Amino acid sequence: MAATEELDLFVIGAGSGGVRAARMAAQRGLRVVVAEDAPLGGTCVNLGCIPKKLYSFAAHYAEGFEESHGFGWSGAAPVLDWQALKSHRAREITRLNGIYAKLLTDAGVTVLRGRAHVVGAHEVEVDRVVYRARHILVATGGKPVTPLVEGGEFAISSNEIFDLAQFPQHLVVVGGGYIACEFASIFRGLGAQVTQLYRGEQVLRGFDDDVRHFLAAEVRKKGVDLRTQADVTRIAREAGRLRVELVGGEVLIADQVLYATGRVPNTAGLGLRELDVALSANGAVLVDEHYQTSVPSIHALGDVIDRVQLTPVALAEAMALVDHLFGADLRRVDYELIPTAVFTNPNIGTVGLSERAARERFANVRVFRTDFKPLRHTLSGSTERTMMKLVVDVDTDRVVGLHMVGQDAGEVVQGFAVAMRAGATKAVFDATVGIHPTAAEEFVTMREPVLA
């Protein structure tokens, strides 16, 4: 393809949103190029959702072996081979990289392996070659926040955590968001001593308060030393390990310190500021309802717009954008009732409003909540409990929030998210026959509201 030939769409970034947009546009017969200077698939495939979930699976086996004794199983305790886990993960990620490459080429997308810079409203430069396009899409995702603490250079981010040379016997996790909580649970399950530090009053800010408090209690039972209102003042190298000094003077000696204190949009060095593309204070690309920036020919979606940082949302935004630019313009992304999961141990699954948000939006709210020991743990010996919660708008009887902390919560909540999108009321939940014996049936058997 000649560099001077005008393309229909030039996509910067081959993560979930960029790949979906490129494929959908190319399948319409359009001329599409995507540029990427990292492994194909973006954060989700390489450094996020997929490797994290694989490690989450790995983290449950030691606990599962202990629980098996209650069911009559015996034998030598399993031992983690960290190098084998890393190798198997890397092999799977490489396979997925290949699948993404094939999806693009099979759709007719031209893939450029290099760093892209926007040099004009319709021009992108890659390896000193300038490409012209009717439309440019920025889908470059986000990156971890760099710690500002003294000695922060000794800390690692979620980018490095999957491939540490040696398994950390003591891991300090700094942060209280879902990434911090997930890795604290994962490495505790894999056998590390884990200390999690969060400067706020409770982890998982923005989630339902009952979920936050219940999860915190459960992970502490699993052995995570979760400390709230705690923070780091200094990190230093000491005798081959890390000296972590805390507010108040306490010192921890760790093998690794993971900072998971947030992510920022990956817009530095793309040339957007030079073109006066409007950005927010944290570098997010500002877009309208059609993902158009302040420069009409340039668009952006996914984590780089810092709206809802979830892979399925980026996919939905990509399809809406392609339909707007090249189709019937019928698709819209509804940011209400987006289900999500947190792969802590136990898992969190949630869709809709927290109780606090519901009370701010609706005049009359009724809450149904239960927590119980799952059937499995009546023999396993584990003290793990499951919590479920429904938030109902009394005036319409609609279920506006549904939350779960427990095994496979994400799998359970996905189905209920469909019901809520369809406008299910509490009466519909009550009329639904449960599957017995399952934990999920509790969502359709809660009858007595919590007293306000």
In terms of Cα–Cα distance, which of 143, 145, 101, 136 is closest to 117? Answer: 136
Can you tell me the distance from the alpha carbon of 232 to that of 249, in angstroms, rounded to the nearest whole number?
10
In terms of Cα–Cα distance, which of 9, 16, 23 is closest to 137? Answer: 9
Orientation of helix 178-190 relative to helix 209-221, angle to 10° = 20
Residue from 69, 88, 403, 436 carrying the catalytic annotation:
436
- Let me know: does 368 contact 431? Beta carbons within 8 Å: no
Angle 406-410-412 from CA coordinates, rounded to 5° = 80
Q: Give the DSSP per-residue string, 405-421.
A: ESTTHHHHHHHHHHHHH
Angle 215-219-220 from CA coordinates, rounded to 5° = 115
Residue with token string 């926040």: 145
Can you tell me the distance from the alpha carbon of 291 to that of 296, in angstroms, rounded to the nearest whole number?
10
- Let me know: does 384 contact 376? Beta carbons within 8 Å: no
Can you tell me the distance from the alpha carbon of 204 to that of 213, in angstroms, rounded to the nearest whole number?
9
In terms of Cα–Cα distance, which of 415, 421, 204, 422 is closest to 443? Answer: 415
Can you tell me the distance from the alpha carbon of 128 to that of 141, in angstroms, rounded to the nearest whole number?
23
What are the structure tokens assigned to 132, written together?
């012209």
Please provide the distance, in angstroms rounded to a whole number, between the alpha carbons at the two ends of the chain: 66
Reported in sequence order, the residue ranges of 224-305 that DSSP labels E, i.e. its strands, are 225-228, 232-238, 241-246, 251-254, 256-259, 263-265, 298-300
Taking CA atoms, 421 is separated from 32, 273, 351, 402, in Å, by 34, 39, 10, 12
In terms of Cα–Cα distance, which of 61, 49, 259 is closest to 158? Answer: 259
Q: What is the dihedral of CA 346, 350, 353, 359, to 10 degrees?
A: -30
What are the structure tokens assigned to 128, written together?
């000193």
In terms of Cα–Cα distance, which of 187, 167, 163 is closest to 345? Answer: 187
Catalytic status, residue 135 = no
Provide the annotated active-site residues: 436
